[in-house]
Amino acid sequence: MSLLVVGSMAFDSIKSPFGEVEKVVGGSATYFSIAASYFAPVRLVSVVGRDFPRRTIDKLSSRGIDLRGLKIADGETFHWKGYYEYDLNTAHTVRTDLNVFRDFVPDLPAEWRDTPYVFLGNIDPRLQLDILAQVRNPRIVALDTMNFWIEKSPQLLREVVRNVDVLVINEAEVRQLTGEFNLVRASRMLMDMGPKRVVIKRGEYGVLHLSDGEIFAAPAYPLETIFDPTGAGDSFAGGFMGYLASRGTRELAERDYRLATMYGSAIASFTVEAFSTERLEALSRDDIAMRVSSFRSLTEFRV
Ligand code: AMP
């Protein structure tokens, strides 16, 4: 089944203890759509400036990602500048230049309004609400956000949270959004607002997945080489939602959500092995399947 994503497409300038890059391609919708395209047909809604590389757009399109919702506007592409210290779990923002996103009004192609799976990627909550108002009866809507929007648009963001099924968010943001340190209690508070599930990304500590009466904990894959954690969260979300969308029309069970969490974790573990989307875009189905089975042996035990 099809999967719709709205989110940022960006130039990222990143410094990590392992190197530095200037204006490489990034953005929540970019990472998400590449990751999800391994599983399901993806429809992308975003905006870039005329400075965005044609090569990247062609590459997305050649993966079958439907770009009818991508606007190429006069002006510069969104730019994020950030750095990581040895604690690769926390991204520090140096600059956020919204550029063409400032005046962006998303307009869903009419035939996309019935898309069953919707991911509201990290972007202005105003745009996330715009998309929500345009889709009809989606099966699952998931949401991601970050500190920038929690600080800038808390009211609008709460409105979005109230109207989604799944929150896919990192641990610092869960705490910031709720004012509660304990992640289990914070998730309960969020579920009381509307979402039925909260999927907490915890960087190298993996993922905590909470729903009514269930908690599932998945580790992150212990890698020897991590270059750049940028995009890990969005790649996780792409694998997670992509897997759910690939399940077809039947009712989703707890098992599907757990497997989706493992597929998301597998995909994210590749993203961090290189800067930008370099590693993420070069995977085979075997690579993904092998990593999922490595996860199985990593966590298997008997009593
Ligand atoms: P993550 O997957 O959480 O590491 O997100 C990484 C991506 O988020 C980067 O490629 C950035 O371009 C993008 N990003 C950073 N700040 C923002 C923002 N305020 N709004 C939307 N996207 C952002």
**Could you write out the DSSP letters of every residue in the chain?**
--EEEE---EEEEEEETTEEEEEEEE-HHHHHHHHHTTTS-EEEEEEEETTS-HHHHHHHHHTT-EEEEEEEESSPPEEEEEE--S-TT-PEEEEEE-GGGTT------GGGTT-SEEEE-SS-HHHHHHHHHH--S-SEEEE---HHHHHH-HHHHHHHHHT-SEEEEEHHHHHHHHS--SHHHHHHHHHHHS-SEEEEE-GGG-EEEEETTEEEEEPPP--S-----TTHHHHHHHHHHHHHHTTTTSPP-HHHHHHHHHHHHHHHHHHTTSSTTTTGGG--HHHHHHHHHHHHHHH----
Give DSSP secondary structure letters for 103-119.
Answer: T------GGGTT-SEEE
What is the pLDDT at residue 179? 97
Is the CB of 28 inside a 6 Å radius of any atom of ligand 1? yes
Choose which residue among 80, 200, 278 to substitute to test ligand 1 binding: the one with the highest number of ligand atoms within 8 A of its C-beta: 80
In the block, residue with structure tokens 């089975």: 293
Q: What is the DSSP letter of 196?
A: S
Average pLDDT for 60-73: 97
Which residue would you say has higher pLDDT here, 22 or 89?
22
Q: In 3-state terms, what secondary structure has residue 179?
A: coil
Best mutation site among 146, 168, 169, 227 for ligand 1, i.e. most ligand atoms within 8 A of its Cβ?
146
pTM of the model: 0.97
| pLDDT tens-digit series, residues 243-258 | 999 998 889 999 999 9
Q: Give 155-174 pLDDT, tens digit per residue.
A: 999 999 999 999 999 999 99
Whether 92 contacts 84, CB under 8 Å: yes
pLDDT tops 90 at residue 282: yes
Give the model's pLDDT for residue 35.
98
Give the Å distance between the CA of 28 and the centre of ligand 1: 5
pLDDT of residue 227: 84
pLDDT tens-place string over residues 100-133: 999 999 989 999 999 999 999 999 999 999 999 9
| Domain covering 3-299 assigned CATH 3.40.1190.20 in the classification | yes
In the predicted structure, residue 303 carries a pLDDT above the cut 90: no
- The residues, any chain, with a CB within 8 Å of residue 83's CB and separated by 6 or more, are 14, 15, 16, 91, 92, 94
Pocket test for ligand 1, best of 6, 8, 24, 160 (most atoms within 8 A of CB): 8
Atom of ligand 1 nearest to the CA of 82: 15
Q: Does the Cβ of 25 fall within 6 Å of ligand 1?
A: no
| Residue 166 CB less than 6 A away from ligand 1 | no
State what percent of residues in the chain have pLDDT above 90. Answer: 90
Residue with structure tokens 């309004």?
Answer: 113
| pLDDT for position 248 | 86
Q: Among 139, 130, 210, which residue's Cα sits nearest to residue 168?
A: 210
Q: What are the structural domain ranges in the chain?
A: 3-299
> Cα of 249 to ligand 1 centre, how many Å?
31
pLDDT confidence bin for 201, thresholds 50/70/90? very high
**Ligand 1 geometric centre to CA of 251 (Å):** 32
